[in-house]
Amino acid sequence: MNYHKENILIVDDDIHILELLKRHLQSLHYYTFKAVSVKEALAILKSKRIDLLITDIKMPEVDGFELIKYVSEHYPLLPVLVISGYISAKGALEMGKSGVVDYLVKPFTKEELKGAVAHSIQSNVSTKKVKEQPAYQFKELIGNSKAFNNVKEIIHRIKDIKATVLIQGESGTGKELIARAIHYHGKYSRKPFVAVNCGAIPEDLLEAELFGYEKGAFTGANDTRNGFFQAAEGGTIFLDEIGNASPKAQNSLLRVLQEKEVSKVGAQKASKIDIRVIAATNINLLEAVGQGKFREDLYYRLSVVEIEAPPLRRRSEDIPLLVARFVQKYALEYKDQVMGIAPEAIQILQRYSWPGNIRELENCIQRAVIMSDRKIMPQHLPDLYKFQIDFPETQLKSLSEMEKEYITKVLALVNNNKTKAAEILGIDRKTLRAKLN
């Protein structure tokens, strides 16, 4: 069966209408995605390439008009076809202003749907002549999903300029890899790239490590020493876990970004520097600003260009590519041979939600290569990733037993990452450590 290239997203809270539209469109050889709410529709729009949106107007919680307005600003090239039981003159006018190409009033025939869909898609092609987004090649960045291609496009646009960049994303999503791609694919690639983990340096030493210090500035400062900023002169400094910087360090960073100069600890005067600053964090900095934990003015200085490193669950179509790379890497490293992976094993990996993201996937493949011979099969994957049956609890347990089981489960899901586990549990690391003890 020959399918059209177009992907159509159908949004309707009526399951019967949704299934009817899906059957009609599939019989017309279109690929379809379904959503029963605006919230679900937005998740699909962010992760898939959609060529036509078909939506109802009257829906619970958030109606179709809100979705149309959102699409008109976030996806202005996406044509919209409205299907509704009744459309008033005022509603038709509002839809026209929001870029709706056509609308159908229920009930309608399959032929009417076919004509409206063809008209909507053709209208988009003929009036806007949209070019496909170029696939920028960064060999170390593996993936062709929509979410990841957006990241690669931003990298392509900023690699040759020294605008400050803020990369936000969960742990294990490859934020440092993105920072390195910006540096090493740009015209400053021959200059230094200095990576600094702000969360790994004690708070009382962070300023000295970042900006250097003069001899005698503090106890133990036996010599004058340059900091990471001076070491990155002419190139890029990557500040990972910037959300962990102390208020004092935040104040100093703000001055560096404003004045383009660095003051060593204990120095009487500042010296000019020429570097690009890329910062990364796995926390929501805007929320930290609202909580008074991060300076608002520093946030806006850092986020001249923002990049969201998408979690692996939002780019599951990239998993086979990532798996192939990791299988090749560890098969050669551990066994000096070429290995494969069974399609059934790939399906299991694509179904899993990956709270530890790419880092967890790499660890999984590393183990599977060790446990297998020529080909990775489902039995070589940990049971955690396979289908589980949740049996009802037959024995009542104490609150402390339930707490212990849940904490153990969360730690297992995040690969024993206590920082991530504490975030999920809503407690700090100190409290988690006490409970584990």
Please name each of the domains of the chain with its CATH number. 7-128 (3.40.50.2300), 146-308 (3.40.50.300), 317-385 (1.10.8.60), 399-436 (1.10.10.60)
Residues 317, 161: Cα–Cα separation, whole Å = 31
Strand order in the sheet with 52-55: 31-35, 7-11, 52-55, 80-84, 100-105
- Going by C-alpha positions, the residue among 416, 172, 158 that lies closest to residue 280 is 172
Q: Which pLDDT does position 437 carry in this prediction?
A: 78
Question: What was the pLDDT predicted at 131?
Answer: 45
Of 176, 182, 178, nearest to 162 by C-alpha is 182
Question: Would you call the peptide bond into 343 cis, given omega within 30 degrees of 0 as the criterion?
Answer: no
pLDDT in the model for residue 135: 55
Q: Which amino acid is at 407?
A: I
Nearest Cα residue to 242 out of 284, 181, 194: 284
Q: Strand pairing partners for 80?
A: 53, 100
Q: What is the structure's pLDDT at 101?
A: 65
In Å, how far are 21, 35, 207, 318, 388 from 340, measured between CA atoms? 40, 36, 48, 17, 26
Residues of the chain below pLDDT 50? 89-90, 93, 126-133
DSSP state of 66: H
Q: Specify the pLDDT at position 284.
A: 92
> Residue 346: its pLDDT value, please?
95
pTM comes to 0.68
Residue 334 confidence (pLDDT)? 93
Across 90-111, b (16+ Cβ under 10 Å) vs e yields ebeeebeebbbbbbbeeeeeee
- Which pLDDT score, from 0 to 100, does residue 9 have? 95
Task: Measure the CA–CA gap between 313 and 296, rounded to whole angstroms.
Answer: 30
